[in-house]
Amino acid sequence: MTLRLYDTAARELRDFTPIRPGHASVYLCGATVQGIPHIGHVRSGIAFDILRRWLTHKGLDVAFVRNVTDIEDKILRKAADAGRPWWEWAATHERAFTKAYDQLGVLPPSAEPRATGFITQMVEYMERLVERGHAYAADGNVYFDVQSLPDYGSLSGHRLDDVHQGESAGTGKRDPRDFTLWKSAKPGEPSWPTPWGRGRPGWHLECSAMVTSLLGPEFDIHCGGMDLIFPHHENEQAQSHGAGDPFARYWMHNGWVTMGGEKMSKSLGNVVAIPAMLQRVRAVELRYYLGSAHYRSMLEYTEGALQDAAEGYRRVESFVQRTVSRAGAVPVGEITAEFAAALDDDLGVPAALAEIHGAVRIGNTALESGDHQAAVAAAATVRAMMGVLGVDPLAENWADSASDSDTTAALDVLVRAELQRRTTARAEKDWATADEVRDRLARAGIEVTDTPDGPQWSMSEPKETVETDR
């Protein structure tokens, strides 16, 4: 079956045909390294890691580029608020993102360019746009003239009359709908020289310069979160088309992680940071959860959904490990035709997981009946399919995961018993007992958070005093 992908620009499924036979070029808009990563940030990394693994499984040599935005308004503002150099703030949080990707089994990109490393290419890009009549300089700023490009809005479907860029104020714009390519230097901010004066890049310009420098003026797939379709990706495409580059042939966008029906974001305060999540479940279980929904769907986070996914992964893991224990080594086998058909249908992970769990049921039946040959065959197939999704239980990067699971599960049983005791005490207005339970957990380094799904716990620094439950 031919791989079919949903192309945002075409608004339909399209057969995937790479520019170069046997090769695939993919660009993923990576992190703006302004803070600690949360599960909403890393969902795109996992979703398109599955895309990369599937393309590789199909025999393609994949060039996968994931950028780092290390200069941007939010980074400068947060670094200033913290009294730290902007470059140190960016580097610190870039390391946090790299650690999170590594913990979650996301393959390292072929290249990971930083925006600040491509200033020369950005200046050259602007020179091309000015020469072609699509950009103009004013007061040290450089703007893109959206009316100069007939296909502006074609990616997002926005009508030009409805465009609002939502960017910080500049001076000299001919039209408020124009967007900023380059921002003139401001006191105390980093800046670089250009023919129009010192300044720093606008967000959209960075990606066009990085991707075309590394993957060429035309490449196969551009990926990112659906919140980037407008204005970021629309403006990327406009810059690139204006410069004469064909740019991306396919556009793929993943859905948000939501809480209470709203996009997870730091500004709303509804974020769940990766370090905190990895105190609740193992990294492989978190990856399984974040990759289990179809990449274009919204993933509504609840503690119950996370734990259900973790239990689903453990059922697969348990079958594979019991097969090894009873029947010996289990090699990586071949995927099933049904699994392949599911992923060829726009990366249909839910259907692929159904195929995996079906194979686990067959394997468990064989194992219990003593048919070790059939059990090993099923487990080998399961390993192959789970490997494509990046969660093979026997993969080397998850080698220490099983023992961690036992420890976490045992601790969870003990803590939840205490939380149930606290809940009962609060219902009976026995505040002394409720306070005593919470204080003891806090002293042990266990932080309790009351949520609509009930009290949840995570590891934290041990505390001497805590708020009461009154």
pLDDT tens string 207-244:
999 999 999 999 999 999 999 999 999 999 999 999 99
| pLDDT grade for 470, boundaries at 50, 70 and 90 | very low
Q: Name, of 205-214, 269-278, 450-459, the range with top average pLDDT.
A: 205-214
Per-residue model confidence (pLDDT) at position 464:
41
Average pLDDT over residues 9-23: 98
pLDDT for residue 254 is more than 80: yes
Per-residue model confidence (pLDDT) at position 465:
39
Q: Indicate if the alpha-carbon torsion angle 192, 196, 199, 201 is positive or negative.
A: negative
Average pLDDT over residues 275-297: 95
Per-residue model confidence (pLDDT) at position 111:
98
Report the C-alpha gap between 462 and 444 in whole angstroms: 6
CB 339 within 8 A of CB 311: no
| pLDDT grade for 153, boundaries at 50, 70 and 90 | very high
Nearest to 252, CA basis, from 5, 4, 3, 42? 5
Per-residue model confidence (pLDDT) at position 455:
78
Q: Look up residue 20 and give its DSSP letter.
A: S
pLDDT tens-digit series, residues 111-140: 999 999 999 999 999 999 999 999 999 999
This prediction has a pTM of 0.85
Q: What is the CB-side half-sphere exposure of residue 327 using CA atoms within 13 A?
A: 24
Q: Which residue has the higher pLDDT, 455 or 345?
A: 345
pLDDT tens-digit series, residues 281-291: 999 999 999 99
DSSP letters spanning 65-118? EE-BB-SSHHHHHHHHHHT--HHHHHHHHHHHHHHHHHHTTPPPPSB--BGGGG
Report the C-alpha gap between 267 and 200 in whole angstroms: 24
What is the chain's mean pLDDT, rounded? Answer: 91
Mark 155-183 as b/e (b = at least 16 C-beta within 10 Å). Answer: bbebeeeebebebeebeebeeebbbbbbb
pLDDT for residue 439 is more than 60: yes
Per-residue model confidence (pLDDT) at position 446:
84
pLDDT for residue 151 is more than 80: yes
pLDDT for residue 395 is more than 70: yes
Give the Cβ contact number of residue 403 at 10 Å.
9
Poorest-pLDDT segment among 152-156, 270-274, 318-322: 270-274
Poorest-pLDDT segment among 50-54, 184-188, 251-255: 184-188
Pairing of strands 141-144, 179-184: antiparallel
pLDDT for residue 25 is more than 50: yes
Longest CA pairwise span in the chain (Å): 79
Per-residue model confidence (pLDDT) at position 443:
85
| pLDDT grade for 98, boundaries at 50, 70 and 90 | very high
Q: Indicate if the alpha-carbon torsion angle 384, 388, 393, 396 is positive or negative.
A: positive
Report the C-alpha gap between 107 and 64 in whole angstroms: 10
Phi, psi of 283 (to 5 degrees): -60, -40
Q: Look up residue 395 and give its DSSP letter.
A: S
Per-residue model confidence (pLDDT) at position 456:
66
